[in-house]
């Protein structure tokens, strides 16, 4: 079985060496390149077309968030997992808004990094357990849920779209027309003040419509 190719982006060579060693001990991954700046990451992605990018967001010059945006603009199917010291829901939200598919903190066990990479490779979204706990804490803090403004049908459609269903798939599941689901999609984004679908996913997770992404499944 061929290994998935990965590139590592971090401005600390010792850190890159550590998780290169970790990944290459796995049967599923082969590290094909390394970068230490956002600009290098973008050019390396274009030249190597890896299956997954494991990227820090704090680097000299342009941030990792800018690299994520540029890579996703070049390839909308790019799988990017952020691996960072920033243990905060806000940083995770910004990463997902930029186009990341996963967010893992460097204080997490190595097994969580591998598990979240597996989830991202399967097309899912993943966060490490510490971030999942923060999301859960915000959910039960007593604040009003942003989805309270949505009607029942809008909640159904949000859940389907956030789980990865296409407009056509959501329409078929709910026996609605493609155009109707498109209209609901636009209305939901407006009501939730969401500028893109990544924000809808994050809101759906925070509201409990979707489980916190699988930190413990490889």
Residue 63 lies in a domain: yes
Predicted pLDDT at 140: 61
Find tokens 């952020």 and name the residue: 82
pLDDT digits (tens, 9 = 90+) for 37-58: 999 999 999 999 999 999 998 8
Residue 215 lies in a domain: no
| Domain with 167 in it | 146-206
Q: Which DSSP helix (H) or strand (E) runs through 81?
A: strand 80-84
Residue 214 lies in a domain: no
Q: Are 205 and 132 in contact (CB under 8 A)?
A: no
* Separation of alpha carbons 80 and 65, rounded Å: 11
Of 5-19, 119-133, 141-155, minimum mean pLDDT range: 141-155
Do 113 and 199 belong together in one domain?
Answer: no
Specify the pTM.
0.68
Residue 213 lies in a domain: no
pLDDT digits (tens, 9 = 90+) for 69-114: 999 999 999 999 999 998 877 788 888 888 999 999 999 999 999 9
């Amino acid at each position: 079985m061929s290994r998935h190719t990965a590139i590592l982006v971090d401005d600390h060579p010792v850190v890159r060496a550590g998780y290169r060693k970790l990944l290459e001990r796995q049967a599923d991954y082969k590290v094909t390149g390394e970068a230490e700046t956002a600009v290098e990451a973008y050019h390396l992605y274009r030249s190597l077309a890896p299956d997954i990018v494991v990227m820090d967001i704090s680097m000299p010059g342009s941030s990792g968030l800018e690299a994520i945006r540029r890579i996703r603009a070049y390839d909308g199917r790019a799988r990017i997992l952020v691996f960072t010291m920033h243990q905060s829901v806000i940083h995770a939200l910004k990463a997902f808004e930029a186009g990341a598919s996963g967010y893992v903190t460097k204080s997490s066990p190595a097994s969580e990094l591998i598990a979240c990479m597996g989830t991202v490779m399967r097309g899912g979204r993943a966060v490490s357990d510490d971030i999942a706990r923060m999301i859960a804490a915000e959910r039960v803090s007593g604040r009003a849920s942003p989805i309270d403004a949505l009607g029942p049908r809008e909640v159904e459609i949000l859940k389907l779209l956030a789980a990865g269903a296409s407009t056509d798939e959501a329409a078929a599941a709910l026996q609605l027309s493609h155009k109707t689901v498109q209209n609901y999609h636009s209305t939901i984004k407006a009501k939730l003040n969401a500028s893109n679908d990544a924000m809808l996913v994050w809101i759906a997770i925070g509201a409990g419509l979707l489980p916190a992404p699988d930190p413990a499944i490889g």
